[in-house]
Amino acid sequence: MNMMRFTTMKTKLRKYPSIFLILLLAISSCFLTGCVNQHPKDSKKSSQGESVETMLEITDPKEKQAVLNAKAKVKALSGNPRIVATSPAVADICDKLDLDLVGVPKSSVSKIPSRYKKVKKVGLAMSPDMEIVSSLNPDWILAPSSLETDLKPKFEELKNTEYAFLNLRSVQGMYRSVQELGEIFGKQQEAEKMTKEFTTFYKSYTKRNKNKKHPKALVLMGLPGSYVIATENSYVGSLVKLAGGENVYQNTDQEFLTVNTEDMKKKEPDIIVRAAHALPDQVTKMFNEDFETNDIWKHFDAVKNKRVYDLTYEYFGMSANFKYKKALSELEKDF
């Protein structure tokens, strides 16, 4: 690979901070809302009030040009691109796009597609082994945008390697990533098929739930020993919004917030949903103990009305994945 070629590419891409993939090294505030609409005046529309075509349409000319630039760089390679996917969610996207990988993450809780069974493991998604990654001489590294702060400095140390952070904070964001990766790596047909499937599902889903009430929801994301509030900018929060729930914590660009229970009580949610970032059995135990021993919880209407639900770990995680249909089906029952 020509080092100057990749250096030039990165310099050009940095001119476009609003581009969807962080090929462009940043995500615009629109994407932080869990909605992929690039028009600020529409950013406050609810997911169910916006057409799926608008959500997925890529209209920004600079964004389009950046993708074309990346596509040209891939085409200029002497052979197939050597790609490393650092998270299970990204590996799943690559699998559905029929992309070969030279490196995949190691995971004890998520299944890596069988086609990558013999592919080199590069470590955990949150802390890939950069020595192993470097030894694979990747042309591209793909990772979720939620880990950009930690991983970007590490990726920048690699020579002759490009990287992209995918917006997996919502299902819509995932399909925007699918479209752009399909264009860059010559998998447009696969991407189009996937996008059409989502479009058909979304229209059916929103029609079915058009007249449902919109309960106020408190979304908790837990780790053993602690938990935070998940806003609608997070993947779990975006699913709740897509299902018609109204997150009690809005008007923030953050994915997660640290808030005391007294403030949560002031919001008086109709429903409380609890998800696990990792170690789901331990997290469920933690939540149960806290709800039993912390006296304030018994004063919540959601607790009194027995509307506290533990979400299935397999469907609700930190990154959007193709199990979103099962996730939304579960939320339908809870809502």
Question: Which residue did the predictor score with more confidence, 34 or 84?
Answer: 84
20 has a pLDDT exceeding 90:
no
Contact 4, 15 (CB under 8 A): no
Specify the pairing of strand 140-144 against strand 127-128. Answer: unpaired
CA distance 158 to 168: 24
CA distance 189 to 82: 21
pLDDT at 41: 33
115 has a pLDDT exceeding 70:
yes
pLDDT at 50: 62
Domains 3-205 and 216-334 share a fold: yes
Summary mean pLDDT of the chain: 83
Number of other residues whose CB lies within 10 A of the CB of residue 48: 17
86 has a pLDDT exceeding 90:
yes
Which residues 6+ apart lie within 8 Å of 63 measured at CB? 16, 18, 19, 20, 24, 38
User: Distance from CA of residue 140 to its chain's centroid?
Assistant: 19
Contact 301, 268 (CB under 8 A): yes
Q: What is the average pLDDT across 103-129?
A: 92
pLDDT at 3: 29
pLDDT at 39: 32
Radius of gyration of the chain (CA): 20
185 has a pLDDT exceeding 90:
yes
- Indicate the pLDDT class of residue 318, thresholds 50, 70 and 90: confident
Q: What share of the chain is helix, strand, coil (3-state, %, to 5)?
A: 45, 15, 40
Question: Which residue did the predictor score with more confidence, 25 or 234?
Answer: 234
- Indicate the pLDDT class of residue 279, thresholds 50, 70 and 90: confident
285 has a pLDDT exceeding 70:
yes
CATH H-level superfamily of 216-334:
Nitrogenase molybdenum iron protein domain (3.40.50.1980)
Q: Is the pTM of the predicted complex or chain greater than 0.85?
A: no
Token pair listed for 107: 């995971």
CA distance 330 to 292: 25
19 has a pLDDT exceeding 60:
no
pLDDT at 200: 92
CA distance 153 to 319: 21
CA distance 328 to 31: 20
CA distance 187 to 95: 11
Inter-CA distances, 280 with 77, 97, 197, Å: 43, 30, 30
- Indicate the pLDDT class of residue 278, thresholds 50, 70 and 90: confident
- Indicate the pLDDT class of residue 34, thresholds 50, 70 and 90: very low
176 has a pLDDT exceeding 80:
yes
User: Distance from CA of residue 120 to its chain's centroid?
Assistant: 24
Phi and psi at 190, nearest 5°, equal: -65, -40
Question: Which residue did the predictor score with more confidence, 213 or 270?
Answer: 270
Token pair listed for 184: 């860059």
What are the boundaries of each domain within the chain?
3-205, 216-334
Among residues 142, 158, 22, the alpha carbon closest in space to that of 89 is found at 142
- Indicate the pLDDT class of residue 306, thresholds 50, 70 and 90: very high
pLDDT at 49: 54
45 has a pLDDT exceeding 90:
no
pLDDT at 298: 94
pLDDT at 198: 92
CA distance 331 to 189: 31
Q: Please list, residue by residue across 294-307, b when 16 or more beta carbons sit within 10 angstroms of its beta carbon and e when fewer do.
A: eeebeebebeeeeb
% residues pLDDT > 70 (the chain): 85
DSSP state at residue 316: -
pLDDT digits (tens, 9 = 90+) for 244-258: 899 999 989 899 999
pLDDT digits (tens, 9 = 90+) for 93-112: 999 999 999 999 998 778 89
- Indicate the pLDDT class of residue 16, thresholds 50, 70 and 90: very low
Q: Strand pairing partners for 271? A: 217
Query: Given 3.40.50.1980, 3.20.20.70, 3.40.50.10190, 3.40.50.720, which CATH number is that of 3-205?
Result: 3.40.50.1980
Q: What is the average pLDDT across 61-68?
A: 84
- For helices 235-242 and 171-184, what crossing angle results, to 10°? 110
For 57-61, 108-112, 155-159, 263-267, which range has the lowest pLDDT when averaged over its residues? 57-61
Which residues 6+ apart lie within 8 Å of 334 measured at CB? 271, 273, 307, 309
- Indicate the pLDDT class of residue 36, thresholds 50, 70 and 90: very low
74 has a pLDDT exceeding 80:
yes
Contact 196, 188 (CB under 8 A): no
